[in-house]
């Protein structure tokens, strides 16, 4: 029994399911999860000393690779002044200034501790600002584990077979309306049938939690127009896409201006951080400026702010990062396609910049229903074949991969070779 297997057996006696986030349990791919001891650059090292080239990057934050020196130095420098104050700091002001400069739609911003906190707060603010109760979300979009979002959720909820979590009340569910992603007509029907009742439409501008799913041409523009028509706020959940698809996020890449934006992952440089922000007139309703309450003891934590600022400053000052990520993504995806064609498999790859997913289906994937057509057992065999060759993928068919600039051309070639060998193995 490996060290990871021993730790997992012990963890199951102490932690629900043995993990602190469901997808980590490997139930979607079979087998036992690896317990990670350390990471550096493009590599993970498990408790048994094995090395893996990884394509998750902590589910997105490590866009510059693990333990990137400027970020690591910023954390070391900050720690000497203590870990938390529960009081305002200069760094919070500087972080807010940096975010508002990089994301023009964000005129004011509030720091929190996770993406889930950010989306929960954004929905409360939208309801308080509009005086309306209902929200519209999209099937397969995951916005954290807040009650309002665990209706037709993707990601872990999907792979665990619990798309609607027990503990979510019928009243909460009734206030959450759902539509298929990329279906403008369905959204318009919901808005028309619930006039003056919908506070916000919330969506991932590029979905990462049913696998990587891109908006079809005109979809985001259409949502913006519908929100304007019906007096509904548009919330972009950019916890994954923020500062990844461009320094201004997906909204910059697609040229769409939301009313509110939620952020996380990259803004913390790997530390637990989230944020929500948007138009000043909306954000001025947040306490203590306004009546909508939200608070957090560790919000704006000085260590997290230091890591996040080091990360964002680097991205802001080095636009070549995004050029390099596009190159890496294109090379990997093209290499994967050649391997899939050689193996004779039906497949779909959705790809944008440094995000992509290989779907084990020949059907185009543009929504939750399409994603569910995948051959999940085949993906599980493929995942383990790649793992055996030293490549760590997301342990679920329904997750995006996230690339970092730590991937060299030689490593990309190794991954492409591992992909071809793995595909040929699983079709035997």
Q: Are 238 and 253 in contact (CB under 8 A)?
A: no
Rounded CA separation 122/350 (Å): 28
Q: Among 3-7, 105-109, 137-141, 402-406, whose mean pLDDT is lowest?
A: 137-141
What DSSP letter does each residue of 73-142 carry, written as one string? Answer: HHHHHHHTT-S--SS--HHHHHHHHHHHHH-TT-SEEEEESSHHHHHHHHHHHHHHHHT--EEEEETT--
Q: Are 220 and 187 in contact (CB under 8 A)?
A: no
- Both tokens of 322, joined, read 């995004």
Rounded CA separation 342/379 (Å): 17
Rounded CA separation 162/66 (Å): 32
Q: Are 212 and 400 in contact (CB under 8 A)?
A: yes
Q: Which domains does the chain have, with CATH numbers?
A: 3-67+319-426 (3.90.1150.10), 69-317 (3.40.640.10)
Q: Which of 181, 230, 265, 322 is catalytic?
A: 265
Q: Are 335 and 120 in contact (CB under 8 A)?
A: no
* Residue 45 pLDDT: 98
- DSSP, res 201: E
Per-residue pLDDT of 150-171, as tens digits, reads 776 554 444 333 345 677 777 7
Per-residue pLDDT of 174-222, as tens digits, reads 889 999 999 999 999 999 999 999 999 999 999 999 999 999 999 999 9
Per-residue pLDDT of 41-90, as tens digits, reads 999 999 999 999 999 999 999 999 999 999 999 999 999 999 999 999 99
Per-residue pLDDT of 322-348, as tens digits, reads 999 999 999 999 999 999 999 999 999
What is residue 358's three-state secondary structure?
strand
What DSSP letter does each residue of 21-60 carry, written as one string? Answer: SGGGG-TTT-S-PPPEEEEEBTEEEETT--EEEES-TTTT
Q: With bands split at pLDDT 50, 70 and 90, how would you rate the model's confidence at 172?
A: confident
Q: Which of 46, 175, 237, 370 is catalytic?
A: 237
Q: Which of 46, 52, 137, 142 is catalytic?
A: 142
pTM of the shown model: 0.94
* Residue 369 pLDDT: 94
Per-residue pLDDT of 29-39, as tens digits, reads 999 999 999 99
Q: Residue 344's closest CA among 426, 275, 253?
A: 426
CB within 8 Å of 354: residues ≥ 6 apart: 63, 244, 245, 325, 326, 328, 329, 402, 403, 404
142 is catalytic: yes
322 is catalytic: no
**b or e along 1-20 (b: 16 or more beta carbons within 10 Å of the residue's beta carbon)?**
eeebbebbeebeeeeeebbe
- Can you point out the beta strands (E) in 173-306? 176-179, 198-203, 233-237, 260-264, 274-278
Q: How many other β-carbons are positioned within 10 Å of the β-carbon of residue 88?
A: 9
């Amino acid at each position: 029994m490996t060290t990871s297997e021993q730790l997992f057996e012990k963890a199951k006696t102490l932690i629900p399911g043995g993990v602190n986030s469901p997808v980590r349990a490997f139930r979607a791919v079979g087998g036992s999860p690896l317990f990670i001891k350390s990471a550096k650059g493009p590599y993970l090292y498990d408790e048994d000393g094995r090395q893996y080239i990884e394509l998750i990057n902590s589910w997105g934050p490590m866009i510059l690779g693990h333990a990137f020196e400027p970020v690591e130095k910023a954390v070391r420098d900050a720690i000497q002044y203590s870990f938390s104050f529960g009081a305002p700091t200069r760094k919070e002001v500087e972080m807010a200034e940096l975010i508002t400069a990089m994301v023009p739609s964000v005129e004011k911003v509030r720091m929190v501790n996770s993406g889930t906190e950010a989306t929960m707060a954004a929905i409360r603010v939208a309801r308080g600002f509009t005086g309306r109760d209902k929200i519209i979300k999209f099937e397969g979009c995951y916005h954290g584990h807040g009650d309002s979002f665990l209706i037709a959720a993707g990601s872990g909820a999907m792979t665990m077979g619990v798309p609607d979590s027990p503990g979510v009340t019928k009243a909460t569910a009734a206030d959450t309306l759902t539509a298929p992603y990329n279906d403008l007509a369905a959204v318009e029907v919901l808005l028309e049938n619930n006039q003056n009742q919908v506070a916000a439409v919330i969506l991932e501008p590029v979905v990462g939690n049913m696998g990587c799913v891109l908006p079809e041409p005109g979809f985001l523009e259409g949502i913006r127009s519908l929100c304007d028509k019906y007096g509904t706020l548009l919330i972009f959940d950019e916890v994954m896409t923020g500062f990844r698809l461009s320094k201004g996020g997906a909204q910059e890449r697609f040229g769409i201006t939301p009313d509110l934006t939620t952020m996380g992952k990259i803004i913390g440089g790997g530390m637990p951080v989230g944020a929500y922000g948007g138009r000043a007139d909306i954000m001025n309703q947040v306490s203590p400026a306004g009546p909508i309450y939200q608070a957090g003891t560790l919000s704006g934590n000085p260590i997290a702010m230091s890591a996040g600022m080091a990360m964002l400053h680097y991205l802001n000052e080095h636009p070549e990062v995004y050029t390099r990520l596009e190159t890496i993504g294109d090379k990997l995806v093209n290499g994967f396609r050649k391997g899939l064609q050689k193996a004779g498999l039906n497949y779909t790859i959705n790809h944008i910049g440094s995000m992509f997913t290989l779907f084990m289906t020949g059907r185009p994937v543009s929504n939750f229903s399409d994603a569910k057509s995948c051959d999940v057992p085949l993906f599980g065999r493929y995942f383990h074949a790649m793992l055996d060759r030293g490549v760590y993928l997301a342990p679920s068919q329904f997750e995006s991969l996230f690339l970092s600039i730590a991937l060299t051309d030689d490593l990309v070639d190794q991954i492409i070779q591992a992909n071809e060998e793995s595909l040929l193995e699983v079709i035997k």
